[in-house]
Amino acid sequence: MDWDDLRIFLAVARTESLSAAGRGLKIDPATVGRRIARLEDAIGARLFTKSPQGYGLTEEGTRLLSHAQRAEAAVEGAAEALSGPEGLTGQIRIGAPDGCANYLLPQVLARICDANPGLEVQVVALPRVFNLSKREADMAIGVSRPEAGRLTVQKLTDYHLHLAASRAYLERHPVIRGVGDLQAHRFVGYIPDMIFDKELDYLSEIGVKAPPLASNSVSVQLNFLRQAAGLGVVHDFALPSAPELTRVIPELISLKRAFWLIRHADDGRVERLNRFAGLLVAEVRAEMARLEACAQEAG
């Protein structure tokens, strides 16, 4: 079985499209189709079924997928072994929730890339769970530990969240001394039906119903707060980026969550990804400690 055919098979399986697979591989869709047909002839089985939604794996295609992924990891591992232990090179894509992607990863990844000039890192910031089996990313950061799939999961770091508001907002509205005083205030938070993980349902945990100002983006929520729009739950690590904000009754309301580093199980054979993951974990933990200390000092 030809590895190049398997490589094309993986691209179609992940994109569910001949044209999208061709764009990623830089070959025309007709060639992708011919190579898939050749592979199907070679193994004597249909690998895809075509529908209006795209190319879906058949039962035989699903069985081949895990073997093809292991072959891909072996090829990448061999290339890494031959390249030697020098600085990290090549492209790595990370999926992350937008709060982490905006306020934690940029400075962490800048330091890693400074130390590894041949490295290219792409951050995909989306408020949803990433599909690693389709290679939407080489690794992902999640807000909860996945319970299914061929994945390896490592706790990246704990983080804390508190109620916060701009000083301008607090000056113009009733004083908040206790939890009961919150009823007199407007809240900013997630759009309830777009909360993709229960760990993000912060407001319901503190007894607040659907907020009148809402977004699926942490950055938009933070900018609402910076514009004196109300109260909201904010990551402590984001507060140094928003000096207009201050924590509100932190001794009474404090939330704790964790970020998890999620990788495809087969990637454990790829030393380049292992080394990058090790650097990422160390740098994220150090940066989290620094940012949370700054938030605490600011009050």
Tokens of 202: 């912060």
Which phi and psi (to 5°) does residue 271 adopt? -65, -35
Which range marks the domain in which residue 133 is found? 90-157+258-298
pLDDT at residue 134 is higher than 70: no
**Do residues 152 and 163 share a domain?**
no
C-alpha–C-alpha distance, residues 241 and 99, integer Å = 12
Instruction: Tell which wins on pLDDT, 127 or 72.
Output: 72
**CATH number assigned to the domain comprising residue 199:** 3.40.190.10
**Average pLDDT score over the chain:** 89
- What string of DSSP letters covers the chain? --HHHHHHHHHHHHHS-HHHHHHHHTS-HHHHHHHHHHHHHHHTS--EEEETTEEEE-HHHHHHHHHHHHHHHHHHHHHHHHH-SSS--EEEEEEE-HHHHHHTHHHHHHHHHHH-TTEEEEEEE-SS---GGGTS-SEEEESS---SSSEEEEEEEEEEEEEEEEHHHHHHS----SGGGGGGS-EEE--GGG--SGGG-HHHHTT--S-SEE-S-HHHHHHHHHTT--EEEEEGGGGGG-TTEEESSTTT--EEEEEEEEEEGGGGG-HHHHHHHHHHHHHHHHHHHHHHHHHHHH-
Instruction: Please name the residues in contact with 67: beta carbons below 8 A apart, sequence gap of 6 or more.
Output: none
pLDDT at residue 50 is higher than 80: yes
> Closest by alpha carbon to 186, among 200, 216, 166, 205?
166
Instruction: Tell which wins on pLDDT, 85 or 221.
Output: 221
**Do residues 134 and 145 share a domain?**
yes
Residue 141: other Cβ atoms inside 10 A: 23
**Do residues 220 and 235 share a domain?**
yes
**Do residues 69 and 7 share a domain?**
yes
The widest CA-to-CA distance across the chain, in whole angstroms, is: 74
pLDDT of 240 reads 95
pLDDT at residue 151 is higher than 90: no
- Angle, nearest 10°, between helix axes 3-15 and 29-43? 120
Overall number of domains in the chain? 3
**Do residues 75 and 149 share a domain?**
no
Residue 247 in contact with residue 176, Cβ under 8 Å? no
Mean pLDDT of 64-76: 78
Residue 59 CA from chain centroid, whole number: 29
**Do residues 271 and 138 share a domain?**
yes
Mean pLDDT of 161-169: 97
Residue 88: other Cβ atoms inside 10 A: 23
- Enumerate the β-bridge partners of residue 150: none
pLDDT at residue 166 is higher than 60: yes
| Residue pLDDT, tens place only, 7-39 | 899 899 988 899 999 998 999 999 999 999 999
pLDDT grade, residue 147 (50/70/90)?
confident
| Residue pLDDT, tens place only, 136-145 | 789 999 999 9
**Do residues 149 and 179 share a domain?**
no
pLDDT of 82 reads 46
C-alpha–C-alpha distance, residues 174 and 87, integer Å = 56
**Do residues 73 and 94 share a domain?**
no
**Do residues 264 and 145 share a domain?**
yes
Domain boundary pick from 26, 48, 83? 83
**Do residues 129 and 263 share a domain?**
yes
pTM of the model: 0.72
pLDDT grade, residue 132 (50/70/90)?
low
Instruction: Please name the residues in contact with 49: beta carbons below 8 A apart, sequence gap of 6 or more.
Output: 55, 56, 57, 58
- Enumerate the β-bridge partners of residue 152: 263
pLDDT of 81 reads 52
pLDDT of 233 reads 97
**Do residues 149 and 164 share a domain?**
no
**CATH number assigned to the domain comprising residue 42:** 1.10.10.10
pLDDT grade, residue 217 (50/70/90)?
very high
Tokens of 185: 């205030």
pLDDT of 149 reads 77
